[in-house]
Amino acid sequence: MTLNFETMSEQQIWAIANPIMDNLMDASTQLDHARHVRDFTGRLKAIVTPEYFARICQQYQAEKGYFTTRTPVAIFRRPDSAAFVWKQIFTKAPGEFVAEMVLVYRDGRYWVDHVMVF
């Protein structure tokens, strides 16, 4: 099946992206690598090894605290992928941060091909 992100409504796309991002953030808070990478493409899984994951999570938790409020900002659509941007707040660090994720659709399901909070 071919899926075109450009033909989907914003509501449909956010309904797919938000639960995936919820899982990513909760799994990183819990330091649960297996759950964190469950929706990753093979390319991204190869980058986010258990050691890399542990180091990044410990660093952001020490510096910024934990994730709190996340507010949708924008979706950038292409036929074969969608990039999402949220405003992200942390428990310790003041100010607003950017959370972003790129989703692709392959083999009948959605996969995270990039994700970052900065």
Q: What is the mean pLDDT of residues 64-90?
A: 96
Which CATH code for domain 5-117? Answer: 3.10.450.50
User: Residue 58: is it exposed, middle or buried by C-beta count within 10 angstroms (0-12/13-18/19+)?
Assistant: exposed
| Domain boundaries, given as residue ranges, for the chain | 5-117
Q: What is the mean pLDDT of residues 15-23?
A: 97
Instruction: Give yes or no for a contact between 99 and 70, defined as CB atoms under 8 angstroms apart.
Output: yes
Structure confidence at residue 3 (pLDDT): 79
Instruction: Say whether pLDDT at 1 is over 60.
Output: no
Structure confidence at residue 2 (pLDDT): 61
Instruction: Give yes or no for a contact between 22 and 87, defined as CB atoms under 8 angstroms apart.
Output: no
Mean pLDDT of the chain: 96
